Each structure stands twice: as C-alpha cells, then as structure tokens.
Amino acid sequence: MAARKVDALLLTDSNALLCGILTDKDIAIRVIAQELNLEETLASKVMTRNPTFVLSDTLAVEALQKMVQGKFRHLPVVDNGEVIALLDIAKCLYDAIARMERAAEKGKAIAAAVEGVEKNWGTPLSVPNTFIETIRERMFRPSLSAIISENSKVVTVSPTETVLVAAKKMLEFRSSSAVVTVENRPLGILTSKDLLMRVAVQNVPVDTTPVEKVMTLNPACATVDTPIVDALHTMHNGKFLHLPVVDRDGNIVAVVDVINVIHAAVASVGSAVSGESAGTTMQKFWDSAMALTPYDDEEETRRFCY
C-alpha cells in the first residue's frame, strides 16, 4: 500500500477470487489501536471480509448509490469472477461535479450573450431551464451546516498525547481521524492514512511517540457556512479526505469526511426534481455529467475514477 501510495488493497483467495479489502482505517483501528504486531498479523485477520462489489456492466450510478448507502469509499469491480478495478467514490463524483460546473459556467456565458443580443436587437430569445441548471442550484447552494448536527462528536487529542492514545480514541468513536487541538483550536489532524504511512510503514513506536511528530500540521479548515461543493473542492485539491470545521472564533465544532460531503451532495441531487425518484434523478445527473466535455487529458480522467 505504501509503495503504491494507495489507501486500500484488495485480497484474493487461492482461486483468485475476491475475499477481502484492507484499508488504512483497518490498519489504524484493527492493528495499531489494538496494539497488534504489524509484521506478525495476517491481513486476513484484520481485513473486511467479502466486501460489496459490482460487475463490470453495472451502471455507474448504481455503483455510486451502493457506496453512498454503504458509506464506503472503495468498490471493487469484477468481471468473470476476476477483479479488474477499484472504484473511488470521491474521484468519480468529483469528476461528474467538475463537468457540471464547467457546463454551468458556459451556460452563464451563453445566457449573457443572449441577453446582449436581446438588448441590441430587441428580439426575445428563449433559453430553456435545463436539468443541469436545476442540479447546479440544488447541489452548489447547501452549506456544511446541513450535515453537521448540534451534537457532532469530534475526536480530539493534545499534541503531546501518544499515537497509541489517539488511535484508541479513534477506535472508540469508530472514526478515521482525530483533530489535534490547543485550547480547542485545530493545530493539526491525525488520520488513518497518517497512521499507515507515517507510523506503521516507518515502524514508529506508538506508545512513546507524541501525536505532534506524525500529524498533518495546520490542516485546511472550513466553516459551517462553507458550501458543500466548495468543501469537496478543498478536499480534492488538497488531496485529503477529512476537513475540520470551525466556528467564527476558530474553535473546532466538527470534522466532515469525504463520505459525509458526498452523501450530502448526492442527497441534493436526489431531491432536485419533484415527482422523480432519487434513483431516476441520480441517473439523469450522471448521464448529463458524463455527456459533458471531460478533462483535456483523457488518460487523467480515466484514472480519476479507478
């Protein structure tokens, strides 16, 4: 995992059939927090067994819905019993949203041009209210306050607490991150990926190493008023999956992860058109997005979802 810089690994049995998935969170809470010896522990003992998967001919929107409903980021793709790919929900949805945004910006330019023609020539031109515009309004308007409850629990640790203490707190709250705070203000963040790459791989002693030695310092933060889509952009551009949320005084109030944000974005899409089921709307969203102009680098776009 470290060599390939990935946070998930698929495991197959002696018949080359998918039997499990091992993620950075598994390493964090099933190995480090449980004080198991990484070099002696078999992957089969700590992996997630018989993970959900989809077939190669499954509609993309169905795969997306499976990941949202199951609240997992990775989804294996199987063809004739053989694993051929691993979907990443964050990359797939971000690609779709980015296309929708570009289309929306083009739509604004077209609308402005139409308005100019109408003013100069006095001829009314009709511009239809497209499905893309409806989705754009529903998806890009909601803020993080819509997904943060008043009783949100944030796993916090002090900079001097040990990595082991932090991992055990993450295990207790079934969380994949802990915010490192000083006077309730975020100084850093420790994630399951940090525990994999900076602790497990480096063979760092967890019972004596302070969190401040392996945490990500000064993480990007959002506020409760940050639009959901902006939060997704921030995480994608920064290549991280957890976003601390602070109040106006800079105090930590919550942490949203990519699944929270994607779930909210998908919910926004699902309620976008009255009289339609969420599945129908999601299918239209995906079809519309995929019909739009992709990134200039086609190879990068292919890698974006797999």
| CATH class (in words) of the domain with range 8-88 | alpha beta
Calpha distance 77→29 (Å, rounded): 26
Residue 16 φ then ψ, to 5° = 65, 25
Indicate the pairing of strand 242-246 with strand 222-223.
parallel
Q: Kindly give, in sequence order, each residue whose CB lies less than 8 Å from that of residue 2, ignoring residues fewer than 6 positions away.
A: 196, 197, 201
Calpha distance 244→235 (Å, rounded): 11
Residue 152 φ then ψ, to 5° = -60, 130
Structure token pair of residue 86: 């691993």
Q: 10, 74 in Cβ contact below 8 A? A: no
Q: What's the distance, CA 194 to chain centroid? A: 16
Identify which of 179, 204, 149, 189 has the alpha carbon closest to the alpha carbon of residue 32: 204
Q: Specify the amino acid at residue 205.
A: P
Calpha distance 134→104 (Å, rounded): 10
Element holding 163 (H helix, E strand):
helix 163-172
The CA–CA distances, whole Å, from 41 to 7, 207, 300 equal: 18, 18, 36
Q: Kindly give, in sequence order, each residue whose CB lies less than 8 Å from that of residue 131, ignoring residues fewer than 6 positions away.
A: 273, 284, 285, 288
Q: Where are the domains of the chain?
A: 8-88
What secondary structure letter does DSSP report for 250? S
Burial class, 209, CB count within 10 angstroms (exposed 0-12 / middle 13-18 / buried 19+): middle
In tens digits, the chain (306 residues) has pLDDT values of 877 888 899 999 988 889 999 999 999 999 999 999 989 999 999 999 999 999 999 877 778 778 878 888 899 999 988 899 998 877 776 676 676 666 666 555 545 554 554 455 554 544 444 555 665 566 556 889 888 887 788 999 999 999 999 999 999 999 999 999 999 999 999 999 999 999 999 999 999 999 999 999 999 999 999 988 888 889 888 889 999 999 999 999 999 988 878 777 666 655 555 555 555 655 665 565 556 555 444 343 333 344
